[in-house]
Structure formats: structure tokens, C-alpha cells
Structure 1
């Protein structure tokens, strides 16, 4: 059994690991999500239902990402940024987390309807409207939750260290935890039905989506479920001994790093798709730039030909069509 001094040394090492992990996740997430957004705007149609969800999920991940440098400084030193920055960081993190969970659930329901209930009459406008309303609801609910938490944010001295904390009540913690696991049950149910339908299909191309689907669900469960479980335990359980108290802190720190890492996983998982890999290869090979340049050159040559033809003949004007 460790004594308190030994546990304290372990905590120092763990906080260094946690701060370094936040910096690494921040770099990977900024690169991955910005690249995802760039490819999305360059190659894809933003009115597409899936792309609407991808766009909003990337924004949610970026909101969590921008808070990581602040938490890294907090772990490596103390919270020295004051109450306003503490409120901003916690509010931004909560908006990113809850909007991501709701958006992923809505995206799952849309895929469930498309894949499993494919015999039902589908309307493109209704799907787009569902996606837009789902995104609006996700941001509205997450912002409402963050406002409630913002009124309970404090900067306190804890063990000789200044810490940024959110002192929410037990009823609020229990409510948001129940909502999270309710959303998780919807995701698991829908994706189970999707996998069953896809595996029964004879189309080999559809079977390839099984890997992407499994990875998306697995990443969400692995990253967020342990964090929410330990969050409930911390709210219920108040250890008395020094050893037990620090063990809970260690578990909470590890789960928090794991949850934060989810913001850089979605871009990697989307790149498992053949379409997104092709877009990425086209981007790095500058094919899009070449096509734009060729189109401009072709358009310019068409204009020159039209001017020449019009100048040569006043009776008959030849206007060649260029694609």
C-alpha cells in the first residue's frame, strides 16, 4: 500500500503526462479537423445530409480542442488565468461535448433510417430539414447546459494549488449522466441494426462500411463512457483515506485524457472511407488546383475564339461551346 507521499509523487508524474497529452491531442486535432473541413468545403456538397453532420461534428471537436492548451497549462503549473478564462474554458468544453453527443446520435438515427428502413419512402428535403433541426437542437441544448454550469464556475485553492472547478449540484450531474447514457443506448441500438443489415447484404462494397461503423461506435464508447462513469463515481463517492482519494483522482485524470482524445479521432475515422481517402489524395496531389487552372485556361481560350470568330464575320457568329 502506498503512503500519501508516494501517491503525491505519482500525481506529479501523472499531471505531467496529462498536460503533455493535452498538447499532443491539441496538435493532432487542429491538423485533422481543419484538414477535414478544408476537404469538405473543397470537394463535397454542404447540402448533403451526412456532410451537414460532419461539418457540425468537426466544429464540436474544435470547440473541445481549443480548451486543451488551457488545461495543459493548468496541469503543468496552476490555474493562473483568472475566473473569466476558467468560465470560458469550461463553457466551451461543455458545449463541444454535449453537441458532439447529440449530433452523433442524430447522425446515427439518420443512417438507421437510410440503411435499415430503406423501403420507407424517403424525401431529400425532409432529410435535410431533419439534419438542420438536429444540429440546431444540439447547439441549443448544449449552450443551455453550459449557461447553467457557467453560474457555478469557481477558481479555488485546493492543496496549495489554484484550480478551475465547476461546482454543479448532484441533481444536475445525475440528469446529464442519464441523458448521456440514453443517447448512448440509441447509438448502440441503431448501429447494431445497421451492422446486421449490412452484413446480410450481398454487396461487397456495403460490407466495407462495417469497419468504419464499428470504429466510430467503438471510439465513442471507449473515449466517453469511462469518463462519464468516473464522473458519476466522483459525484457519489467521497473517499476518506489519502490513498483512496488520490486513486480516484488518478482514474479521473486518465479517463479525462481518453475523453479528450476523441476530438482528434473523428478525422482519422472518416479517412477510413474510400471517398475521403480519394479526396485527401487529390488534395495532396493538387488535382483540384489543376482542374481549376485548366478550367480557367479553357474558358479563356473560348473567349478568345469567340472574339476572333465575331471579328471575322458580321453575318454569321460562331460561338464554340467549351465544357
Structure 2
């Protein structure tokens, strides 16, 4: 997968300098900082204030972890774009695997979350207990990680450090690039079809009359899914174009590379969007403000101070008696 995660092109494309990597390197660092900050705050909010047994929160926690795994790979690709690959063959494989795990797990978890909303909203009369739904949600999360890790290990074995024109690059030299792109696209477009079907049924049910609280929850989740496909959709389309179409001449190659890098930046920026979209929820916004004000810490100090004062008063009263 590093043949496109690191932004490398084929040999002919190197002759046509687009200067895009010098821009993408700093953008990787900016996305990295935003994503680490936003996802860490989200994890703190969910752990401190939310019910971890709630099915939606289970998915949110897993999605935040998926985004963080993806985010950790960005500084390595930034160095690769700004300079060249200096981390060796083993790190090349590990970072490629981390990138794939983050990508694959995100789309599988979002699909599972959508199916859960479909069952909750559309099939609300379906005879299934909350405990069973929770077990299914946990099972879906475990399956997402197992599938993602398995697929990423297969991809990681194909990459290695390649020496070209005086520099090293983390690159995939396997000949079956079309098969690989089709595998990646299948893990994107098939979930997309499932999600479109589920949300069509959900929106139909919502429009027929649903209480306002559930409508807000569905709206937030719909925004999260829409953001994923708006960010990653153009990227996967560009991957298919690059695998099927070989432009002739320098200008067409430059245009294709510029379009590819724009789609790549849009896709990579997704890892810091989910926490921002979760803040559409009024409850999570309130929790975040409480966290930033350290309200829990202040409340505990007040409770400790009150308890200490009560204890001192009791001691004084006892001494007076």
C-alpha cells in the first residue's frame, strides 16, 4: 500500500516535477497535530463522562483508536515527502501496516455503526435484547480489527525500501497493482453500498415521525458517514484511475499527480474530522467544556474541602464536649 501512501509515482512521473510533495509534507504535520489533539480530547470525554457500556460509545471509542493509529503514520510519510525514506525496511512495513489498519478499520466500523442504527431505528420492533445487541457490537469491533490487521499484514509484506536516483523510498514493487487497488476499492465501495441502503431506510423512517432526540443522533451519525465518503471517495476513484490509465506526456502526468495529491490530502484530513463532528452533539460539547475547565477536578477539590471542613467541625465539637 505504500506505493500510493507515500505519494510515489512510476519512474516516468519523476521526470515531471509537480512540487506537490513539498506542500504535502507540512500539511501531514498539521493534520497529525489536529488529529492527535482532537481524538485524544474525544477519548478523554468518553472515558470520563460517558457510559462505556453504551453501544454508540463503543463504536466511537474504536473509531477514535482507528483514527489515532492512522494518524501516527503521518509524520513518517511527511519526512518521506520532504526528504526521503530514512527509517529502514522494517519501519516501512510497520508504517504501511498501520496506515492500512487505520483505513480498513474505519470503513468497517462505520458500516457496523450504520447497521446498528438501522436495526435500532428501522427494525425497532425486532425481538432482540439490548444485551445481545451489545454483544453483536463488540463482536463487530473485534471482527473489524481482525480483518483490518490481516489485510494490512498482507499489504505490508509487499513493500520494501527502494533506492532510486540517490534516495530511498518506501515502495510497493509487486506487479499485481490492479488486484491490490481492486481489493482496497472493494473495502470501500461495498460498505458504501450497504451504508447507502441503511441510511435510505433510516431517513425514510425518520421522516415518517421520530422523536427529536433520536433524530439528532441519526443526523450526527449521518454527518460522520458522509464526511468519510466525501474525504475518501475521490481518493479511491483516483487510485482506480492511476491503475487503469497511463497518461502520455509530461503535462497530463503533472495534472494527474496534482489531482492525486489533492485527493490524498482530503482523504488524510478525515482522521481529525470525526471528533469535530461528534461535537455536533450538545451533550458532548457540554462534556468537552467541562473537561477543558477541569470541572471534575474542581468538583473533587470542593468535595475534599467540604469533607475536611466537616471533619474539623466534628473534631472541635467533640473537643468542646
TM-score (norm 1): 0.86
Equivalent-residue separation in structure 1 for 2:266 and 2:36 (angstroms): 17
Matched residue, 2:238: 230
Q: Partner residue of 1:139?
A: 145
Change (3 A) 1:206 1:131: closer
May I ask how many residue pairs the two structures share in their alignment? 307
State whether residues 118 and 201 of structure 2, in contact with CA within 8 Å, keep that contact through their aligned partners in structure 1.
yes
User: 5+ residue gaps in structure 1?
Assistant: 314-323
2:110 is the counterpart of 1:104: yes
**Counterpart Cα distance in 2 of 1:76 and 1:100:** 27
- Paired with 2:51 and 2:282, the residues of 1 have a C-alpha distance of 17
Contact 2:84 2:169 in 1 (8 A): yes
1:288 positional shift: 1.7
Residue 280 of structure 1 deviates from its aligned partner by 0.8
One of 194, 199, 205 as aligned partner of 1:197: 205
Q: Could you tell me which residue of structure 1 aligns to residue 186 of structure 2?
A: 178
The counterpart of 2:48, out of the listed 38, 42, 47, is 42
Per-residue CA deviations over 1:40-62 (Å, capped at 9, x if unaligned) read 11111212111111111001000
Deviations 1:243-274 (A, max 9, x none): 33332222221111111101000000000111
* Alignment match of 1:156 (pick from 151, 158, 162): 162
1:292 and 2:300 are equivalent in the alignment: yes
Q: Which gives a bigger RCO, structure 1 or 2 (Cα 8 Å, sep 6+)? A: 2
CA 1:163/1:250 → structure 2, altered by over 3 Å: closer, same or farther?
farther
Following the alignment from structure 2 to structure 1, what is the Cα–Cα distance between the partners of residues 201 and 307? Answer: 50
Q: Which residue of 2 aligns with 1:273?
A: 281
Stretches (4+) displaced over 6 A: 301-313
For structure 2, the residue ranges without an aligned partner over 5 or more in a row are: 1-11
Superposed CA offset, 1:69-94 (max 9, x none):
11111111222222122112111000
For the Cα contact (< 8 Å) 1:191–1:213, is it kept in 2? no
Query: Contact (CA 8 Å) 1:188, 1:217: kept in 2 or not?
Result: no
Provide the rounded CA distance (Å) in 1 between the counterparts of 2:243 and 2:166: 23
Larger Rg: 1
Q: 1:64 offset after TM fit, Å? A: 0.9
Distance in 2 (CA, whole Å) between partners of 1:114 and 1:312 is: 63
